[in-house]
Structure formats: structure tokens, C-alpha cells
Amino acid sequence: MMEDLEVNPLHRAFLTKFRRDFEVACRMSYLVVIPFSDSLESHTIDQYFANSHILIPSKLLKMHYNQLQMGNFEDIEVENKKLICHRNLKNPSDKLIVNIIAEEIGYNMFSKEYRTVLVDRPLVFNIQPRQIMIAFKGILAPLSPRSPSATALAKRQRAHLINSRTLTHQDDCAKYLEFISQELTVRLEIEIRRLQSNYIILSHYLPDASKRTRDIADRYVEKYELILETSFKGRLEICEIIQKSIRLSVENYVVYLMHGKLMATIHDCYEREDSLLAEKFNLLLASRLTICQLGARKEFSAFEPDDDLLRLLRRMPNLQSPLAMVCCLMNAIDRISENLNQSVRFKRLLGDSSRDNFQLEAERLMATSAHGPTDPIPICSDDLIASFVYCLPQARPNNLYSMLRYLELFGWHSVEKDQSSYYLATFETSVEYILNFTNSSSLSSSEEITD
């Protein structure tokens, strides 16, 4: 665009104060209108003003729109780089003509196009004049390190920033970054939106897309760290936990902003594997194999997944950032562990009618001496893999293989070498097992099929 949107008051308001409205507009492919900065100096930018510049496409007429905030115009038509705004359709001469200066095209999370146009004047009448630049000055400006409130803010910063356990979702990442610097977060979002608009991602260039987005993330990690170091020097210690949290937040927020375009390309690349996985789900369900026949120990023979577990597995590929997917996987593993141990308690409670009392009592004694009658039994990799293979066909999550490749290319610090990377590798092994499953697949020695 001819004007840098970073300095436009309305656009900055859309990315901060009215962020949710702007996200809805992008998701629904509405037309967002941004008046030139000089034309905004005498206007109040409030909810009414912002919503008046979000245009909803007419359901009946092509290139006709209605304002999200009705009241100014009955109809707005886009024609020959102009917005023809009709105040009264019964009086065609009662109209306002607004010139379109430039246009920017972006893509939302569903890979659908949305447009932002820069125009020469606002789409409102009878607004009380007010100088808005003073209101916007300083909203995003960092505190001076010598400000009286800087010390108190530094203490709150440290308490908030060090609590990285709150980071489980891309919204948490955005709030974390905005807590450090709202202005820098706005700049980051603008840069990613520009990349998304101008960069065509092809399936054989996915590694290049991964490198480009990670390079942007690396640059902004340094910028966020620099803000903390310069603005709170001597008042805030940037420990390793904060550094990791900043990187995790930046990386996931960057990938989240690109998610729709990235996932669509990845799914196109691995559509065959996703479809094959769906077929294997049907084959596994038809085989009626038990969890023990799939490799779990006999203690877990009564295992059945509950609704919460199936819901987590079903939801996981539909999440919109690597961090959210990994956290969902960890929650699913917690549910598997709980379900497995519940099955052991249930089995001990009911006993087993297929063995005599002497044999049953001997097994109970061995189990009790090893773990105690109510202690949870440690779960090994075979048990976990068998649990996933048993549960996934029941949950039937979509695009699961694409999700794994997405995490491989864009997971970065979300799946670093820690417990989550181990569990993700175990989960991937389970998916590969399902992909290679056939009716003649050999059963585990834990339990053979009997007549």
C-alpha cells in the first residue's frame, strides 16, 4: 500500500483494541476499509467508527456490501476503484463517493481470501471531531526505565513472564508477547500478514517456508529480549525460563498467523496418507483386536477410552498452532494413563472368572507386592502405543498425518528434546503402525486370539 499501515491509527486499533472484530472480519472474508491517516485526525476511533469500516458482502448482489455497524449507508457498491455509498436507496443522488487508493489481499486460516482497502476518507457522517493522535501516542510506547512505575511493573513482569506453564495455546502466546510490548506484537503481526499475502507456498517448498517463518521468529525473539533488557535493566533478570517462554510464544504466534495457508499446503501434499489412515481406521475397527493383542500388558485388558479422551484425539489436528497440538497430545496421554489405571482397578475389583480362585489370588499377590493394590502401574512405550492404536480408530481424527508433518516442519521449540518430544515420537510410531496395518498383521505375544 502507498501508506504504511503500521502508522495508521484505525489499523493499529484493529490490531489492538478491536482485535477480535478484525479477526472475525478476516475469518469471514469481510472487506476491511482503512481511511488514509490524514483523514482520521478529526475523528474519534471507537467501536462504532471501527465497525462502520468493516463491510459484509451482500448475499444477493455481487460487489455490494453492508456496514457491520448499520446507520450511515443503506448500501455500498465497489465500482472502478471507488466505494459508492448510498445513504438512501430511494434517492440515488444522496450518496458519498470514496476513492480506493490501494488494496491488500490476505488469506485467513481457511486459506480463503480477504481484502483490505486504503481509501481517501472515512465512511461516516456527523462524527464529533476530536484529535486522536494524542490518544494513540504513548499507548504502545515502552515505559522509561526511570519512570516511578517501572520498578513495580518490572516486578509484575517477572512474576508473569516466569510462569511459562500458562502457555498452552496461541492466544496465551499473543497475550504473553503483548505483555512485553504491544507495539512490537503489532509490528510482528503486520510483517506476517505481508508475508502471507505475498508469499506463495508450494508443497515442494515447505522447508523453505519453515526457514522463512523461523527466521522472522528468530529476529523478533531478539527484539523482545532487547526490550526487556533495555527497558527494565537492573530491575528484571531475564532468566532461562523467560528466554524459552519468549521463543515459544514468538514461534507459535508466527506459525498461528500462517496456519491456514501452511496447513492447506501440507494437507494437499499428504492427502493420500490422510485418506489411507482413514481406511486403516475402518480396518482396525473391523478386526476387533483388543488392546492386549495390539501390544499392551495383560493388566490393561479391561481398558476402554472415555469420551474425554476420544474428544481430545478428535480435536487435536484441528488446533491452530504447534503448541496447542502438543499440549492437547499431553492431555490425551494423561487421560490414557488415567483410563489404563482405572481399567486395572476395575479388573481387580471384578476379578477374572476364567481362572480359578487360587490362580487369581496368586496374580493379585504378585501385582500387590510389585505396585500395591491401588498404586498406579507404570506405563511403558508398548502400552502407550497400543492405547493410541486402539483409541484412534474410535476417535477418527481428520488429517492426522498432515498434523504430524506440520509439527515436524513448524514445531521447533514446541517439540524440543524433553518429555513432549518423547511422547510425540511415541504417537508418531502409533500412527505409522496404523498406516502399515493389514489383516495379516502379527499380534503381540501378550495375548493370542483364542476361539
Inform me whether the pLDDT recorded for 129 exceeds 60.
no
pLDDT at residue 131, as a whole number: 29
pLDDT at residue 159, as a whole number: 60
Taking all residues of the chain, what is their mean pLDDT, rounded to a whole number? Answer: 79
CA–CA separation, 278 and 289 (whole Å):
17
Stretch (H or E) spanning 77:
strand 75-79
Give the closest residue to 34 by CA, choosing from 43, 224, 337, 256: 43
Q: Could you tell me the three cell numbers for 313?
A: 484425539
Q: pLDDT tier at 323 (50, 70, 90 boundaries)?
A: very high
Inform me whether the pLDDT recorded for 112 exceeds 70.
yes
- Who wins on pLDDT, 232 or 333? 333
pLDDT at residue 162, as a whole number: 60
pLDDT at residue 370, as a whole number: 44
> How many whole angstroms from its chain centre is CA 69?
29
Output the furthest CA–CA distance in the chain (Å, rounded): 98
- Who wins on pLDDT, 344 or 354? 344
Stretch (H or E) spanning 33:
strand 31-35
Any idea of the CA torsion for 431, 436, 440, 445, to the nearest 10 degrees?
-50
- Who wins on pLDDT, 203 or 223? 223
Provide mean pLDDT across the span 132-149.
35
- Who wins on pLDDT, 96 or 367? 96
Provide the residue type at 26 as one letter.
C
How many other C-beta atoms are found inside a 10 Å radius of the C-beta of residue 9? Answer: 18
Q: What are the extents of the domains in the chain? A: 5-119, 161-261, 270-350+379-436
| Architecture of the domain whose range is 270-350+379-436 | Up-down Bundle (1.20)
29-70 confidence digits (pLDDT tens): 899 999 988 888 778 898 888 988 999 887 667 888 888 876
Q: Out of 36-50, 125-139, 285-299, 432-446, which region has the weakest mean confidence (pLDDT)?
A: 125-139
Provide mean pLDDT across the span 79-85.
90
Q: pLDDT tier at 450 (50, 70, 90 boundaries)?
A: very low
Q: Could you tell me the three cell numbers for 3?
A: 501508506
Vertex 395, ends 343 and 428: CA angle to 5°? Answer: 90
pLDDT at residue 447, as a whole number: 44
151-167 confidence digits (pLDDT tens): 555 555 556 566 655 78
CA–CA separation, 79 and 99 (whole Å):
10
| DSSP-derived pairing of the beta strands 31-35 and 75-79 | unpaired
pLDDT at residue 233, as a whole number: 62
Inform me whether the pLDDT recorded for 173 exceeds 80.
yes
Inform me whether the pLDDT recorded for 171 exceeds 60.
yes
CA–CA separation, 190 and 389 (whole Å):
42
Highest mean pLDDT among 65-74, 92-101, 227-236, 385-394: 385-394
Give the closest residue to 100 by CA, choosing from 26, 3, 198, 27: 3
Inform me whether the pLDDT recorded for 11 exceeds 70.
yes
pLDDT at residue 136, as a whole number: 26
Gyration radius of the chain over CA positions: 28
Q: Could you tell me the three cell numbers for 36?
A: 488514509
Give the phi and the psi of residue 157 in degrees, each rounded to 5.
-55, -50
Q: pLDDT tier at 389 (50, 70, 90 boundaries)?
A: very high
- Who wins on pLDDT, 35 or 6? 35
pLDDT above 90 coverage of the chain, percent? 36
pLDDT at residue 382, as a whole number: 86
CB burial string 358-391: b at 16+ within 10 A, e below: eeeeebeeebeeeeeeeeebebeeebbbbbbbbb
Q: Out of 113-127, 223-237, 351-365, which region has the weakest mean confidence (pLDDT)?
A: 351-365
Q: pLDDT tier at 440 (50, 70, 90 boundaries)?
A: low
Whose cell is 495390539? That residue is: 294
Provide the residue type at 29 as one letter.
S
Q: Could you tell me the three cell numbers for 91?
A: 434517492
What's the N-to-C CA distance of the chain in angstroms?
A: 73
